[in-house]
Chains A and B, each alone.
Chain A
Amino acid sequence: MAQRTPLFDAHVSLGARMVDFAGWDMPVQYQGILPEHQAVRTAVGIFDISHMGRLWLPGPEGISLVQRVYTNDAAQLKVGQARYGLICNEKGGILDDVLIYGHHDGRGLVVNASNREKILAWLQGHQGTRPVSILDQTFETCMIAVQGPQALALVHGLTPADAAALPYYFSTETTYRGRICTLSRTGYTGEDGVELIVPRDLGPPLWADLLQKGAVACGLGARDTLRLEAAMPLYGHELNEEIDPLQAGLSWAVKWDKGDFIGRDALQARKQDPSRPVRVGLELEGKRIAREHAVVAKEGGPIGAVTSGTFGPTLNKVIAMAYVAPACAALGTPCQVDVRGKPAPAKVVTLPFYKRKRNP
């Protein structure tokens, strides 16, 4: 039986269409993917992301364990700073992409729902002789994303800490209804906004508060079109255990000189192999959507495959991310994508497809 977040009843009463995602009953849409997508790009949308794994590793041993398994630097972090990185296996293949949060007394981890148990087991299996508590706080908490140009204004006043005062990719401990919560200026949509982690029982009141203030409830359908336009990878599509961070275009999240980490040697070796397919963005002609596994071809021969594809509502174009042979990865390279037996002309374009306008 699928798991439910504390907001399940709220979704159903809002008329959400529910779907199984990674063993959780989650809303895929409420009023429709297109209007929800637009709401996030132009106003503010909220997402229930309570299904994602939230782990806490206290103390210097916790910091050290994260540093051992994580490709980016988990040690040199300012208090409250959030950082994106990968956890790899010994072959350099990606086990998960995660966000870590720096606190003076340990490290928080937010991991994909589909990988929560895998990462927990990985951390437990690699702590060695060090005594490390690895606390899974997923079921004690609720997590809600508030995203869009009006997101910061919407949450103003909900917590004593002001989100607008947080630098991008920073978090702070604050309170909501008098209880401790985490507020971070992070997100997965390509828009400005925050993510809030509250005690489990405060999830429904927070969701209701946000709706009452005018936020639009958004589901996983819009979450996917938004992150795809922003070219953010999704585990299970652009990332998996056969793919390394370098070919995924995430070498900026690998810090070679921060000390040893699991997979470092393998990654160094993989770096020397120029034949590995690399992630690219594709823009297709026409309106037919190329989905995962669609074959990408050039001059009759296959050069790769699509990992995610959709109609990008903000761009008004069919877009896809794919892995292709490096020789065919140059910007502007023309190719064809096999969409259900018919070739759709396409070309390699720069990533991200969409970039929000930043305030100067």
Chain B
Amino acid sequence: MDQKTLRFAKTHEWASLTGDTCTVGISQFAVEQLTDVVYIELPEIGDHTFVGDSFGEIESVKAVSDLYAPVNGEVSEINEVVLNDPSGVAKDPYGKGWLVKIKVEPGTTLDHLLTKAQYDQQIASEDH
């Protein structure tokens, strides 16, 4: 995924829309905050997602974080590889470390999400 084309949620998920499929993952910043991911819980195929609601969780030794859906839709694919080996998320968060693919309604946009520049600004003020 070319990071410049991605949109970001304030809660550190990224989203990429192609046709009616939205791919979702978590950002490099989120990966660095978590470190040591030991467990990921993802929804089942067919589950519905709602913007801002939790669709799963990602757990490191230190803490667990909810994963928040950036779009409304229906889960069409989940990344089985990272389910079995959560370290894959840290290795390639924008590529092979994707989490779910969501089928969205026609006309769905990502305009409500932050651009990379806006997201980078947000994390610059968060990171101390």
Contact = CB atoms under 8 A, between A and B. Distances in A.
Given A32-B35, A32-B36, A33-B35, A310 B59 contact: no
Interface residues of B, number: 10
A18 B57 CA distance: 25
Contacts of B61: 33-34, 221, 225, 289, 310-311, 313
A289 B36 contact: no
Say whether chain A's binding surface is mostly helix, strand, loop, or mixed. mixed
B35 A29 contact: yes
Give the most central of B36, B41, B57, B64: most A CB within 10 Å. Answer: B36
Interface in B1-60: 35-36, 38-39, 41, 57, 59
Nearest to B32: A17
A4 interface: no
B62 interface: yes
Contacts, number: 32
Nearest to A316: B38
A111 to B, nearest CB: 26
A33 B57 CA distance: 20
B41 A33 contact: no
Give the most central of A32, A289, A310, A313: most B CB within 10 Å. Answer: A289
A356 interface: no
A289 B38 CA distance: 9
Contacts of B64: 288-289, 340
Contact of A221 (B41, B57, B59, B62): B62
A258 interface: no
Nearest to B35: A32
A287 interface: yes
Nearest to B60: A33
Contacts of B35: 29, 32-33
A287 B62 contact: no
Nearest to A339: B64
Contacts of A313: 61
A71 B53 CA distance: 52
Contacts of B38: 287, 289, 311
Contacts of A33: 35-36, 61-62
Give the most central of B38, B59, B61, B62: most A CB within 10 Å. Answer: B61
Contacts of A28: 62
A320 to B, nearest CB: 13
Interface string A268-310: 0000000000000000000111000000000000000000001
Contacts of B36: 32-34
A8 to B, nearest CB: 16
Nearest to B62: A221
Interface string B51-77: 000000101011010000000000000
A252 to B, nearest CB: 30
Contact of B39 (A34, A225, A287): A287
Contacts of A340: 57, 64
Nearest to B39: A287
A237 to B, nearest CB: 15
A319 to B, nearest CB: 12
Interface string A122-151: 000000000000000000000000000000
B90 to A, nearest CB: 9
In order of increasing CB-CB distance, the 7 nearest A-B pairs are: A287-B39, A311-B38, A33-B61, A34-B36, A33-B36, A32-B35, A32-B36
12 contacts: A29-B35, A33-B62, A34-B61, A225-B61, A288-B39, A288-B59, A288-B64, A289-B61, A289-B64, A311-B38, A311-B61, A340-B57
Given A33-B62, A34-B61, A289-B61, 11 more contacts: A28-B62, A32-B35, A33-B35, A33-B36, A33-B61, A34-B36, A221-B62, A225-B61, A287-B39, A288-B41, A288-B64
